[in-house]
Chain A
Amino acid sequence: MNYLSFYHLLQYGQMTDDSIIQAFLQCLRISFPQTYFLNTNFHRELSQNGWASAFSIFFLHNGSSRYAKKTQSKPSINSDNIVIPIHIHGCHWVALARHIIGSRTFFLYAYDLNSASTFDTIKSIYTTSTTSTCFHPNDAFWIKCHSFTYHPHSNECGS
């Protein structure tokens, strides 16, 4: 994160930089130690290289490999609260959270443009067949959280 990205954060109509999102997630991690925040690169790794690769880099797992040793501070696949920042369309951020309450796994999704096609796309990337039953059980329940689509957009995308 540099001065320019922070300056843009405070400017109306400027795009919010990835480094800002990452810094904010680290602050959230300090304030909410029971909640894990996946790296902003997780979604790209999952969508481009698949679950095995994304899991090996971003989730805690045992083993003697170089990746395994680097994952000791990463979330366990069994963590109750995992926040997944998703960068889409080259400019927008979607919030996705996996929240386990009792024996039920929820996936909570929020995108201010409320696009049905984007929701379907994201859901298809995070479903059981493309991840694992540990991460996304077959009976996982998706909730599309409503938010307003404001005009003018005035949002993080810079428009």
Chain B
Amino acid sequence: MATHPNPSPNILLPFMGENIAQVSRWWVAYSILNNTVTIPNSTEQIPDHIYVPPSFNATSIPSNLVPLNDMVNTCFPSLENSLQIELSLSTLTP
């Protein structure tokens, strides 16, 4: 938000995803451990046309990126349909 060249109410929507909470937790942890933060280049990865849904309520499907406990399913995100997924892979894969 602080550096977006053309801010609008919808600039965060491309980064939303059903597992964003857990992805964000791991992204923050990875950043702290490596003392650096990787953020997708907004001009390259944000689509020209952002889909704006009729409602901003959605169902989350939490899953850890590596096994931690039995409370949450563990899975690696697919490569489909989400910049948020790309974000998780780019920051978690060395």
Contacts and interface: CB of A to CB of B under 8 A. Distances in A.
Interface of A: 1, 6, 9-13, 16, 20, 23-24, 27-28, 30-32, 34-35, 81-83, 95, 97-99, 101, 106, 108, 110, 114, 143-156
A9 to B, nearest CB: 5
B22 A114 contact: no
25 contacts: A10-B29, A12-B21, A12-B68, A12-B71, A16-B28, A20-B28, A24-B28, A32-B37, A108-B7, A110-B12, A143-B7, A143-B9, A144-B9, A145-B9, A145-B11, A147-B12, A147-B13, A148-B16, A148-B20, A149-B56, A150-B21, A150-B60, A151-B59, A151-B60, A156-B24
Given A12-B72, A146-B12, A27 B31 contact: yes
Given A10-B26, A150-B18, 14 more contacts: A10-B68, A12-B68, A24-B32, A24-B37, A30-B37, A83-B2, A101-B5, A145-B9, A145-B10, A146-B12, A149-B56, A150-B20, A154-B22, A154-B62
Contact of B3 (A11, A30, A35, A155): A35
B79 interface: no
A97 B3 CA distance: 9
B71 A35 contact: no
**Which 3 pairs show the lowest CB-CB distances between chains A and B?**
A150-B60, A97-B2, A154-B21
B4 interface: yes
Interface of B: 1-5, 7-13, 16, 18, 20-22, 24-26, 28-29, 31-32, 35-39, 52, 56-60, 62, 64, 68-69, 71-72
B44 to A, nearest CB: 17
A9 B1 CA distance: 23
The residue in A9, A150, A152, A155 that gathers the most chain B C-beta atoms within 10 A of its C-beta is A150
